[in-house]
Amino acid sequence: MNIRKAVITAAGKDQRSLPLQTLIDRDGEQRSVLGILVGEILSAGIEDICLVVWPGDEASYLKAAGEVRGRLHFIPQPEPKGYADAVYCCRDFIGNEPFLHLLGDHIYLSLAGRSCAQQLVEVAIAESCAVSAVQAVREGKLPYYGAIGGRRLSDRQRLYLIQKVIEKPTPTEAELELVVPGLRAGHYLRFFGMHVITPTVFEFLPQSSHLSQALARLADSERYLAIEVEGQSYDVGLRFGLLAAQLALSLQGRDREEVLSLVIELLASRERSHR
């Protein structure tokens, strides 16, 4: 499997402005969420990047991309038909190839020596099939994400065969259909927001309102795996999501000590004001 292309979706009504937000990265430099995402993709050896946007937003994204703007191709999603349609818009760009897909409103931070995207792509190439990044979470987090059910492969500790995909399952649905042997009680595998997908998915997207529905059908039609990447993802569209992403970046970066001091100072000041 050769993975040469990547897709970032960013055309949603509540998502359009999020990749344009700026953060201070781990090197202490101001960068847009989009610029950080493109850097994540480049770290996996992929340089051909498609961005699905609302028509007319291209200029704003080019400006936000900064020095990596030359890597981007734009495809408009002319009607707000949902997530599955956004990915389907890229079918001509992708052709008959597997591709890396990232969400435009997430920041991904590795806890290992390789980026999250690199970890995922390496597994997809080695296994020669579709692979989604996942993270184990308590059932209370499930209403915000798609989640998977399956079984751990006996020879790979963090690798799972996907047998079921449900978008934003209830705790009851998760207990009935998404229990994965070997996980702690009350924990399930939710999507991390990053996938390597085979072109077979384009057969299922037109009948799907959400990508998870198409991925569920993909799991029924071909070998499809999940990997617990060593990292964290932060949805900047959630309440305090941008703040959480900024703190996580800062605490991994060169300004860690300065940020820790600021946080301690703020907490101490608040404690004094309540005495």
Rounded CA separation 69/72 (Å)? 6
How large is the average pLDDT for residues 242-255?
93
User: pLDDT at residue 267 above 90?
Assistant: no
Residues 175-197 have pLDDT tens digits of 999 999 989 989 999 999 999 99
Using CB atoms within 10 A of its CB, is residue 60 exposed (0-12), middle (13-18) or buried (19+)?
middle
Helix (H, G, I), strand (E, B) or coil at 2: coil
Q: With 90 as the cut, is the pLDDT of residue 1 above it? A: no
User: Whole-structure pTM over 0.85, yes or no?
Assistant: yes
- Give the rounded percent of residues in the chain with a pLDDT score beyond 70: 99
The predicted structure's pLDDT at residue 241: 95
CATH (domain of 244): 3.90.550.10
pLDDT in tens, 119-164: 999 999 999 999 999 999 998 888 889 999 999 997 677 999 999 9
State residue 13's pLDDT score. Answer: 85
| Helix, strand, coil fractions of the chain, as percent rounded to 5 | 40, 30, 30
pLDDT band with cut points at 50, 70 and 90 for residue 275: low
Residue 272: per-residue pLDDT: 74
Q: How far apart are the first and last CA of the chain?
A: 62
The number of domains in the chain is: 1
Q: Model confidence over 100-118: pLDDT tens digits? A: 999 999 999 999 989 999 9
What pLDDT is attached to residue 227? 97
List of residues 6+ apart from 63 with CB closer than 8 A? 69
pLDDT of residue 154: 77
Domain residues for the domain of 92 are: 5-273
Contact call for residues 4 and 50 (beta carbons, < 8 A): no
The model's pLDDT over 40-83, given as tens digits with 9 standing for 90+, comes to 999 999 989 999 999 999 999 999 998 889 989 999 999 989 99
Nearest-angstrom CA–CA distance, 242 and 16: 15
d(CA 157, CA 105): 29
Residue 215, number of CB atoms within 10 A of its CB: 26
User: What is the number of other CB atoms lying within 10 angstroms of the CB of residue 102?
Assistant: 26
Q: Where are the alpha helices (DSSP H) in 102-252?
A: 116-127, 171-177, 211-221, 241-252
pLDDT band at residue 273 using 50, 70 and 90 as cut-offs:
confident
Taking the C-alpha atoms of residue 194 and residue 215, their distance in angstroms, rounded to an integer, is 13
Report residue 233's pLDDT band, with 50, 70 and 90 as the boundaries.
very high
Angle (CA) 114-91-126 rounded to 5° is 35
